[in-house]
Chain A
Amino acid sequence: MLTIPQDLRDKIVAHARADHPDEACGVLAGPSGTDRPERFIPMTNAARSPTFYEFDSTEQFAVWKEMDDRDEEPVVIYHSHTATEAYPSRTDITYANEPGAHYVLVSTRDPTIAEFRSYRIRENEVTEEPVTVAE
């Protein structure tokens, strides 16, 4: 289960809408071991593509180092699909390399409805999980 504050959920959706039709991507950092997403970190999609995303490597290093310095971990890794379902694709599964993270997918294929779903991806297996939006 993913428990996420309303404002962080809204920020993710806003980011996805702003970058549409390119895929948006980013991280929610939280204190290590707590599974609590607290800090919103939108990332540059270095691929700048409507069908692919990749964190810029230098930016990723800086963010990961900062999380390490703050004793945080990536609780959520999110990205958007701009024309397809908010469900992990084959490439999403191939490159899901943070076994402790919740993988959040947003779809912006509909201009008024934002699909927001969360998954665990471990050892090439996808398990959808419920999302609880907290205050």
Chain B
Amino acid sequence: MAIEVRIPTILRTYTDGAKQVEGTGSTLGELLADLDRKHGGLRERLVDDGGLRRFVNVYLNDEDVRFLAGLDTPVKDGDTVTVLPAVAGGAF
């Protein structure tokens, strides 16, 4: 079973430069835990005590998982999960 996970440039230090890695799990949360076993420290960049970090976007196929079930979103073989850091900023 393999779920493709696309990694943004800024997180490729955790994947030895790979822009795409594979993982398994039946929910997004399980998938991230699986990835963290192979790429230590990656999960912490995506998840904090409150769930998915506020300024990191995670998509299941082409939907933002915030509009699905967050970390409980079911994932399956053949899905693609994409991570994109939010682009944001401001006056202060």
Please list the residues of chain A having a beta carbon within 8 angstroms of any beta carbon in chain B: 23, 25, 43, 47, 49-55, 57-58, 60-62, 64-65, 77, 79, 81-84, 88-92, 94-100
B9 A95 Cβ-Cβ under 8 A: no
Give B residues with C-beta under 8 Å from A: 8-10, 55, 57, 59, 62-64, 66, 82, 84-92
Residue of A nearest to B64 (CB): A57
* A-B pairs with beta carbons under 8 Å apart, 9 shown: A53-B88, A53-B89, A54-B87, A57-B64, A61-B62, A61-B82, A65-B62, A89-B90, A99-B9
Q: Are B91 and A23 in contact (CB under 8 A)?
A: yes
A-B pair number, CB within 8 angstroms: 83
Say yes or no: A89 contacts B84, CB within 8 Å: no
| Chain B residue, CB-CB nearest to A27 | B87
Q: Is the interface of A mostly helix, strand, loop or mixed?
A: mixed
**Is B90's CB under 8 angstroms from A61's CB?**
no
User: What is the CA–CA distance of A21 and B8 in the complex, to the nearest angstrom?
Assistant: 32
B90 touches A49 (CB 8 A): yes
Residues of chain B contacted by A55 (CB below 8 angstroms): 86-88
